[in-house]
Structure 1
């Protein structure tokens, strides 16, 4: 009887931990959820004389202001998000120009074929990383030397551009990434307990869930790959590797900025 009670107590504790973890993850995903909800709404509801892409941009801007106004995001986090908006928009402009995907709808807020709201999709990834970092009290152990991470993230970002003309080095970069980060791990706190996860595994998990989100987004017409222009189909699994590498850039930038901020404030570096 006593063993049964202990077993029940363990399961209740695990369920409680899972609930806390899920709640904090959900709170960290507010901005991405707003974007998904907006994509779903604008797919079935249209406003006369107002293009879908323009409405998406307007709602994203209102959501961003609301996140800061209601203190769901800090000013420092907003700065990081704006940086990712620019990084993502530059990548979108290039990829659309190269025909990697397209935005077939009309809109006043399109620049060289790219609606400006698209930068918020990259910014929402940064928003999630920043908020999860704060809500789960994430710490990093075994972080590589700064010049390793800077050069690696620069090489990954450049490869998104250069692979159209040169070889695609994504797998070589992935192997190099594993070598550089194999000793690195995150710790995160849920309730009264601290857990540890290898950094590479976290990169892969986030990349996988972004790939799932990408399938939902393309289904709702956020953009279209060449093989989806006539009939929607599942985004190719190889895209997980692209998101995996993009997440690496995101986490490296967030981690380095937190390191700089901590040193500036006179605290102990989190890396």
Structure 2
């Protein structure tokens, strides 16, 4: 029993350290909603603070240069999606700011980048690996289809649930291998997707409560974000894992192998 408690404490420590950047985001959102900064719009202040946090994490060694590159990729991916969604009326950023692009504050990309930051950190800290990876082409095609569905469902049918079914088929044999101290554990990748999607949904409720953005039904008074959004974050988690996994193994000079052999 004592050994299990020690293992759980070590696992919790690594999870907490991997969440430093997401915690910094939500802490900044909370404080900026209660404290007004003179001569500086809230959205602009959030951007400056988050840039400072990223710089400090890099200089302190909490994040590597390669992890910063991955975060930048996700920032761009998220910002493009945000601009499109705001234009389509899915949600809005009603407050003023100088650092807004087509109605979207530049800090918003960091909310997507925080997912990448967590993925990179937890991968390194728990010395993660995978078995049963479906391969580069199937995973990238599925990830691309999921990303584009976020755009296309506004004018053609939403294939979200078909794509979700494909995820379970394509990644059915994929297992995450992670290590806590000297013990190795395994988890189905699809279960990890569900857990990440659920916790991002919880974080989204915190973010909207503190005014990071507003859905149309939240302009008069704050309401709980629809449970249906969990599926969106579930699909976003898949894109995150696919990109991070591929970049990690490209960097290592290795290629993803067949489900039979796992990783090289």
* 3-state secondary structure, aligned to 1:127: helix
* Deviation of the 1:199 alpha carbon: 0.3
Report what 1:245 is aligned to: 235
CA RMSD of aligned residues (A): 1.2
SS in 2 for 1:117: helix
Cα separation, 2, equivalents of 1:81 and 1:48: 30
Instruction: Give the structure 2 partner of residue 6 of structure 1.
Output: none
Q: Work out whether 1:101 is the aligned partner of 2:67.
A: no
Indicate conservation of the 8 Å contact 2:168/2:190, yes or no: yes
CA-CA distance at 1:12 after TM superposition: 1.3
Match of 1:223 in 2: 213
- The SS at the match of 2:130 is strand
Q: Structure 2: any 5+ residue segments left out of the alignment?
A: 256-261
Residue 264 (structure 1) shift? 6.5
- The match for 2:75 is 85
Runs of 4+ residues over 2 Å off in structure 1: none
Greater alpha carbon shift after TM alignment, 114-123 vs 11-20: 11-20
Verify the 8 A CA contact 1:28 1:131 in the aligned structure 2.
yes
Secondary structure of residue in 1 paired with 2:74: helix
How far does residue 160 in structure 1 lie from its aligned partner after superposition?
0.2
Segments of 5+ residues of structure 1 without an aligned counterpart are: 1-10
Aligned to 1:124: 114
Query: Which deviations, in whole Å up to 9, do the C-alpha atoms of 1:155-206 show, x marking residues without a partner?
Result: 0000000000000001000111111000000011112211100000001100
TM-score, structure 1 as length reference: 0.93
Partner in structure 2 of residue 153 of structure 1: 143
Q: Matched residues in 1 for 2:254 and 2:7: separation?
A: 34
Bigger drift between 255-264 and 235-244 goes to 255-264
Residue aligning to 2:50: 60
Return the match for 2:173 from 166, 177, 183.
183
SS at match of 1:187: strand
Alpha-carbon distance in structure 2 between the residues aligned to 1:264 and 1:219: 43
Task: Specify the SS of the correspondent of 1:47.
Answer: coil
Confirm or deny: 8 A CA contact 1:262 1:270 kept in the other structure.
no
Larger-gyration structure (1/2): 1
Q: For 1:88 and 1:149, locate their aligned partners in 2 and report how far apart those are by CA, in whole Å.
A: 19
Give the CA deviation at 1:248: 0.2
Instruction: Tell me what 1:113 maps to.
Output: 103
1:31 correspondence with 2:21: yes
